[in-house]
Every structure is written in structure tokens, then in C-alpha cells.
């Protein structure tokens, strides 16, 4: 079942429009839908001409649809505060400094951004009981793909950490011969407990992504975009996640046959190349192309969304989530 | 003091000496060795968690930072140990009592 639907693709191909249109379609079919944007530029708010924040909020004027915008920066600093608060709960002030520096450093690494986003994704999926469908408008390709490959990678890594920690504690216990107090004990070790909780979190995430998620990629009819999409399909495949379908966006509208002149000639040749590229994409990319959407002169807003949604031939599985 | 008492006190002293000797020669170096091994493993664990403390960037330090509140004593000790540790041979050699 596709409870979680991800839209990915290169920057600027129109992921927000397509994912919003899909969410709109779901909502129109009567499914309680949540649209989640992770793009720091936040165009979902612009599209619906409303402001959203970190908490899901009902979209005005569209029934059954809620939206939220995740700000990774905010997530990172919240995580930083969390860890620091725990630190000051545990420790005397004199000890804090060296460790504090390490914590700051960890939150400045390039991976922090992705990890924070990933955490939030999984939280939204885990707490999404109120929704029949959750649609993710993801940030551009590279980041998203790495995000989705995190669970598998991290699970293995945590396994190794757990094993190391267990072994060293075991040795500390063995070293305590003759009734000495061992330096560390296995029972109730907070580090082991924490690692185990994390592992469970990643397992959950991996399971949800493999079993309940569908992935769609959006591309434009230009060769760069098509190549990028091809790579994205391969990489998702490597993670055991298959791309359900492709959406080709931003097609040039053809001029009327009786129109002549430079503009019309230009448009005609553009339409021709785009048609060729679409054929190439159909031939070379294995997931089916589910929709081809023409460029809109104006920005797509709520009133236009319905017509974009109509062009999307992604089947909205109308069955609601079985209420357990 | 009767002969029996003298023998008993002699045996007690001997036993204490033997226990001390056993402790000094066998058990103490043994658990020191095990403890050093455990420490080494712990160092490995810490290095796996916080390689960026030594300038190696880690994509997962965001997650391992969550462990620091529980590891602060170990973290400081570990950092000191690693900065001070000149060679592996020196570290491994420490456990032998000549």
C-alpha cells in the first residue's frame, strides 16, 4: 500500500507543483492527505498562498488536505539544544566544556542537515496515523537519495557499535575478579539502551520505506534532466526501492497550425525536440511515464491545481487505510 | 602460646603471603591486562563514534552526539589518552611487569 508517496527530481523541475497536484487529487478523492515540504525555499506556502510551519495545518479552501513545511536548520538547532540540555542534566558544569565543543562540531558537519531531515521524515511517518496518505515534496535529488539510503547504512553501523560496546563492557566485568566493582556494567547501560532505541528507529524507517512507500520522479524534457533521472532510478534501485513512475513536466505548448512567424516556428521546433526527448526517455527509462504536463505561463496556484491534477495519470488508490 | 596456636598463626601469615604473592604475580596483572584490553576496545568504540574529534569528518556524528551526555567522562579521558598515546607498542608494552 502506498501510504507514503515521495516525489523527487532535480531542482527546479516542478516537484512542488506535481506533488501538490497529487496531494490535491488524493484529497479530492476523499483521502485525508498531508503534504510535507522539505525544501528550505518553501514553495508550498506560495502555491496555496498561505503560510505553513512545522506543524500540520489544514489547507484553507481544500477539503481533506493539510500541509507542513520542515526547516532542516531549525531541526538541527533543536537537536543541538536537546543534546545540550541532556548534557547539563547529567554533568557537573566543570566537565561540560570539552564535550560541548564536540557536540557543536557534530552539528556543523555536512551530514547533520540530512540526518535532521531524515529524523523528521520518519517522525512524520510514524505519527501520521491521522492521515490516509502522506505526500513528500522532497529536496533536490542528491540529498533525497542519500536520505533514503540512510536506514540500511545506519543499521549496520549501529550493529557494529553495539557489538563493540558490549564486548568492552563484558571485558570490564570479567576484569572485576574477586568481588571488585566492575568499571562498567552491561545491565542498564544508557549508551547501549540509546543505541538500541536508535536501531529500532532505523529499522522502522527502513520497513516503512520498503513496504509502504511509493517513489515518483519528476523530470523536464531536456537531456540533462533525463540523464539525472536515469541515475536517480539506478541509485534508488540499489537501495531496493523501485521508482513507481515518472512525471514529465514543463512541455512547451504547440502553436495553432495556422500560426506563422518567428514565435510559432520556434515553438514548433521546440515541441519537436521535446517530443523526441520524451521518446528517448520512454525507451531508455524503465518506469512508465505517467503524465506529461505542459508549461503554464503563470505560476500554478490553487485554482490551477485541479487541472494539473487531472493530467496526472497516477492512480489514486481510493481504498482508505484500514483502521486498526 | 601453645604449639597449636603457633602453628595456626604461622599458617595464617603464610596464607596471607601466598595470597599476596598470587595477587601480585597472577591475578593483578591478569585483570589489569583484561582491563587494558577493555579500554582499547572502548577507545575503538569512541573512535568509531567521534572520528571528527581528530579531524576525520563523520557523517553520523550527528547521531553519536546524542551519546555524549552519557559518555562525558569517558570522552574526556579518551581524548587525553589518544593525544598522549605515542605508539601502539608502548601502549601494549605497559601491561608487562618486568
Interface residue of A175, A196, A197 to substitute, partner B, most B CBs within 10 Å: A175
pLDDT score of A179: 64
pLDDT score of A1: 62
* pTM for this prediction: 0.78
Q: How many structural domains is chain A composed of?
A: 1
If we measure between CA atoms, which residue out of A324, A300, A312, A276 comes closest to residue A46?
A300
**Residue-range definition of the domain harbouring residue A109:** 4-311
Residue A321 falls inside a structural domain: no
Residue A66 falls inside a structural domain: yes
**Residue-range definition of the domain harbouring residue B69:** 3-96
Chain A contacts of B37, Cβ < 8 Å?
171
pLDDT score of A134: 93
C-alpha distance across the termini of chain A, in Å: 15
Closest residue to A109, CB basis, from B61, B72, B73: B61
Residue A143 falls inside a structural domain: yes
Query: Rounded distance, CA A50 to CA A205, Å?
Result: 30
DSSP annotation of A322: P
Per-residue pLDDT of chain A (324 residues; tens, 9 = 90+): 688 999 888 877 888 888 898 999 899 888 999 999 887 776 788 888 888 888 899 998 889 999 999 888 888 899 999 888 888 887 666 667 778 888 888 888 877 888 888 888 889 998 888 999 999 988 665 566 667 777 877 888 889 889 989 988 888 888 776 666 777 877 788 899 999 999 999 888 888 888 888 889 898 888 888 888 898 888 888 877 888 889 888 888 888 888 888 888 888 998 899 989 999 888 888 888 888 888 876 667 777 787 788 777 776 665 555 544
If we measure between CA atoms, which residue out of A2, A4, A7 comes closest to residue A219?
A7
Sorted by sequence, the CB contacts under 8 Å of residue A305 that are 6+ apart come out as A20, A21, A24, A47
Residue A323 falls inside a structural domain: no
Q: What is the mean pLDDT of residues B51-57?
A: 80
Under an 8 A CB cutoff, do B65 and A107 touch? yes
Strand pairing report for A289-294 and A243-251: parallel
DSSP annotation of A53: -
Under 8 Å between Cβ of A208 and A161 = no
Beta strands in B5-96 (DSSP E): none
Residue A54 falls inside a structural domain: yes
pLDDT at B83 over 90: no
* A/B interface, count of CB pairs below 8 Å: 119
Chain A contacts of B57, Cβ < 8 Å?
109-110
pLDDT band at B87 (very low <50, low <70, confident <90, very high): low
Q: How many structural domains is chain B composed of?
A: 1
H or E element at residue A67: strand A65-69
Helix (H, G, I), strand (E, B), or coil: what is residue B24?
helix
Residue A100 falls inside a structural domain: yes
Chain B contacts of A171, Cβ < 8 Å?
34-35, 37-38, 41
State ipTM.
Answer: 0.75
Cell of A132: 490516509
Question: Which positions 18-77 of B are in contact with A (Cβ < 8 Å)?
Answer: 27, 30-32, 34-35, 37-39, 41-42, 44-45, 48-50, 52-53, 57-73, 75-76
pLDDT score of A324: 40
Total residues found in chain B within this entry: 98
User: Domain with A8 in it: what CATH number?
Assistant: 3.40.50.300
Between A127 and B30, the more confident residue is A127
Under an 8 A CB cutoff, do B63 and A176 touch? no
Closest residue to B62, CB basis, from A86, A115, A178: A115
Under an 8 A CB cutoff, do A194 and B59 touch? no
pLDDT band at B14 (very low <50, low <70, confident <90, very high): very high
| Backbone angle region of A244, left / alpha / beta, with phi > 0 → left and psi within -120 to 50 → alpha | alpha
Under an 8 A CB cutoff, do B38 and A172 touch? yes
Burial of B32 (0-12, 13-18, 19+ CB in 10 A): middle
Under an 8 A CB cutoff, do A175 and B34 touch? yes
Chain A contacts of B58, Cβ < 8 Å?
109, 111
Residue A319 falls inside a structural domain: no
Under 8 Å between Cβ of A169 and A185 = yes
- Please give the backbone phi and psi of residue A183, each rounded to the nearest 5 degrees, phi first: -65, -35
pLDDT at B92 over 70: no
Amino acid at each position: 500500500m502506498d501510504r507514503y508517496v515521495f516525489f523527487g527530481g532535480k531542482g527546479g523541475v516542478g516537484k512542488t507543483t506535481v506533488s501538490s497536484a497529487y496531494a490535491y487529487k488524493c484529497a479530492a478523492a476523499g483521502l485525508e492527505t498531508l503534504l510535507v515540504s522539505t525544501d528550505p525555499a518553501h514553495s508550498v506556502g506560495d502555491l496555496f498562498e498561505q503560510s505553513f510551519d512545522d506543524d500540520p495545518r489544514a489547507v484553507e479552501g481544500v477539503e481533506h488536505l493539510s500541509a507542513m513545511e520542515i526547516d532542516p536548520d531549525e531541526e538541527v538547532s533543536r537537536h543541538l539544544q536537546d543534546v545540550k540540555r541532556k548534557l547539563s542534566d547529567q554533568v557537573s558544569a566543570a566537565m561540560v566544556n570539552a564535550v560541548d565543543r564536540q557536540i557543536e562540531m557534530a552539528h556543523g558537519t555536512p551530514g547533520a542537515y540530512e540526518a535532521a531531515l531524515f529524523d523528521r521524515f520518519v517522525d512524520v511517518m510514524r505519527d501520521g496515523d491521522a492521515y490516509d496518505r502522506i505526500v513528500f515534496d522532497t529536496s533536490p535529488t542528491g540529498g533525497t537519495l542519500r536520505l533514503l539510503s540512510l536506514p540500511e547504512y545506519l543499521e549496520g553501523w549501529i550493529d557494529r557499535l553495539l557489538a563493540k560496546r558490549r564486548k568492552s563492557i563484558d571485558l570490564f566485568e570479567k576484569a572485576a575478579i574477586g568481588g571488585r566493582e566492575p568499571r562498567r556494567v552491561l545491565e542498564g547501560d544508557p549508551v547501549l539502551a540509546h543505541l538500541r532505541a536508535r536501531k529500532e528507529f532505523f529499522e522502522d524507517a527502513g520497513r516503512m520505506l520498503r513496504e509502504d512507500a511509493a517513489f515518483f520522479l519528476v523530470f523536464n524534457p531536456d537531456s540533462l534532466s533525463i540523464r539525472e533521472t536515469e541515475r536517480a532510478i539506478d541509485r534508488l534501485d540499489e537501495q531496493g526501492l523501485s521508482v513507481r513512475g515518472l512525471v514529465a513536466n514543463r512541455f512547451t505548448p504547440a502553436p495553432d497550425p495556422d500560426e506563422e512567424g518567428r514565435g510559432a516556428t520556434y515553438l514548433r521546433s521546440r515541441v519537436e525536440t521535446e517530443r523526441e526527448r520524451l521518446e528517448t526517455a520512454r525507451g531508455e527509462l524503465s518506469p512508465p511515464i505517467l503524465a506529461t504536463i505542459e508549461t503554464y505561463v503563470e505560476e500554478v496556484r490553487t485554482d490551477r491545481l485541479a487541472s494539473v491534477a487531472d493530467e496526472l495519470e497516477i492512480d489514486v488508490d481510493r481504498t482508505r487505510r484500514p483502521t486498526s | 602460646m601453645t604449639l597449636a596456636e603457633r602453628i595456626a598463626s604461622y599458617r595464617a601469615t603464610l596464607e596471607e603471603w601466598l595470597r599476596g604473592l598470587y595477587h601480585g604475580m597472577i591475578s593483578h596483572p591478569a585483570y589489569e591486562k583484561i582491563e587494558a584490553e577493555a579500554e582499547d576496545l572502548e577507545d575503538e568504540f569512541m573512535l568509531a563514534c567521534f572520528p571528527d574529534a581528530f579531524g576525520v569528518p563523520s557523517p553520523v556524528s550527528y547521531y553519536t552526539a546524542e551519546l555524549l551526555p552519557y559518555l562525558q567522562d569517558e570522552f574526556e579521558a579518551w581524548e587525553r589518552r589518544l593525544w598522549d598515546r605515542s605508539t601502539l607498542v608502548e601502549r601494549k608494552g605497559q601491561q608487562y611487569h618486568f
